[in-house]
């Protein structure tokens, strides 16, 4: 038999539990676990590295902070919050995971997430792919022209960029304009057929925010503020984020 995922010792005081309890209403209900396993049954990361949401919560409850700090499972959690949804006590396990991520030295966090966060901080597009304002506008205009010509029923379709006063400000996952530009078109068609008044912005157009997943609060905040300012600067009423 292999080594158990959790090795129990005497109960210790948990810094993770205490800090999260201070942050959340009702302490995030962290003391109400029934050990029913509902969280683990609905978690897409269950079983990775022999870990699941129920075990993770028990480790925190038992004060196993050092073991949590070394456990890479926190980076497999998708933060989807399905565990909260299925939990009869509504225990906020994702907040525990988020706090555990913050305990990792920044340079030791997963290179893919770290690199995408840092790339998004380089300019005001917020693109994790590093796409510039000029690149994005060129791709949108080029793809729009191609589809107008190829599909006459959409010859009047628009994909506005920096349209002041548009009702909706649309974000776009930055993977699509860089690697799969045709994937942008179906949503344009829906918006066209619905008669929606919308626009992209050259600033703040990227929908994703890897700094949030990296648990970098300051960078997460900066990216959200850049996007919100782009919406306000164009005078849009509603911000549509596809992520």
Residues 104-145 pLDDT 10s: 999 999 999 999 999 999 999 999 999 999 999 999 999 999
SS3 114: helix
* pLDDT confidence tier of residue 25, bands split at 50, 70 and 90: low
pLDDT of res. 28: 60
pLDDT of res. 8: 46
Compute, in degrees rounded to 10, the torsion defined by CA atoms 88, 92, 96, 101: 120
Compute, in degrees rounded to 10, the torsion defined by CA atoms 64, 67, 70, 73: -80
Q: Which residue has the higher pLDDT, 210 or 92?
A: 210
Q: Torsions phi, psi of 127, nearest 5?
A: -80, 125
Residues 212-234 pLDDT 10s: 999 999 999 999 999 999 999 99
Distances (CA, A) of 9 to 2, 3, 138: 19, 15, 60
- Residue of 237, 203, 243 lying closest to 223 (CA atoms): 203
Report yes or no: 202 and 136 within 8 Å, Cβ to Cβ: yes
**Residues 6+ away with beta carbon under 8 Å from 88:** 34, 36, 38
Q: Torsions phi, psi of 206, nearest 5?
A: -75, 130
Distances (CA, A) of 37 to 41, 121, 124, 130, 188: 6, 39, 43, 41, 42
**Residues 6+ away with beta carbon under 8 Å from 217:** 102
Residue 18 scores a pLDDT above 50: yes
Report the pLDDT averaged over residues 20-40.
75
pLDDT of res. 23: 61
CA distance 122 to 127: 9
Would you tell me how many other CB atoms lie within 10 Å of the CB of residue 78? 12
Q: Torsions phi, psi of 110, nearest 5?
A: -50, 130
Residues 154-191 pLDDT 10s: 999 999 999 999 999 999 999 999 999 999 999 999 99
Domain edges within the chain: 15-104, 111-240
In the chain, the DSSP E strands lie at 168-170, 198-199, 238-240
Q: Which residue has the higher pLDDT, 221 or 58?
A: 221
Residue 51 scores a pLDDT above 90: yes
Report yes or no: 9 and 43 within 8 Å, Cβ to Cβ: no
**What's the topology of domain 15-104?**
Fumarate Reductase Iron-sulfur Protein; Chain B, domain 2 (1.10.1060)
Report yes or no: 61 and 21 within 8 Å, Cβ to Cβ: no
Residues 75-107 pLDDT 10s: 999 889 999 999 988 888 898 899 899 989 999
Residue 6 scores a pLDDT above 80: no
The rounded radius of gyration (Å) of the Cα atoms in the chain is 22
């Amino acid at each position: 038999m292999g080594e158990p995922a959790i090795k129990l010792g005497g109960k210790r005081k948990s810094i993770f539990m205490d800090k999260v309890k201070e942050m959340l209403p009702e302490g995030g209900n962290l003391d109400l676990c029934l050990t029913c396993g509902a969280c683990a049954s609905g978690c897409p990361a269950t079983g990775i590295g022999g870990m699941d949401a129920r075990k993770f919560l028990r480790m925190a409850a038992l004060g196993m902070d050092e073991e949590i700090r070394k456990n890479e499972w926190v980076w497999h959690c998708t933060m989807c919050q399905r565990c909260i949804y299925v939990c009869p006590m509504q225990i906020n396990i994702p907040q525990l995971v988020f706090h555990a991520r913050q305990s990792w030295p920044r340079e030791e966090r997963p290179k893919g997430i770290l690199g995408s966060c840092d790339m998004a901080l380089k300019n005001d597009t917020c693109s994790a792919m590093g796409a510039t304002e000029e690149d994005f506008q060129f791709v949108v205009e080029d793809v729009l022209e191609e589809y107008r010509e190829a599909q006459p029923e959409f010859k009047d379709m628009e994909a506005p960029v920096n349209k002041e006063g548009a009702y909706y400000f649309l974000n776009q996952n930055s993977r699509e304009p860089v690697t799969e530009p045709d994937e942008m078109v179906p949503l344009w068609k829906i918006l066209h057929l619905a008669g929606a008044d919308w626009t992209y912005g050259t600033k703040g157009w990227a929908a994703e925010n890897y700094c949030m997943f990296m648990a970098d609060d300051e960078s997460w905040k900066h990216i959200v503020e850049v996007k919100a300012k782009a919406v306000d600067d164009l005078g849009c009423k509603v911000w549509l984020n596809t992520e």
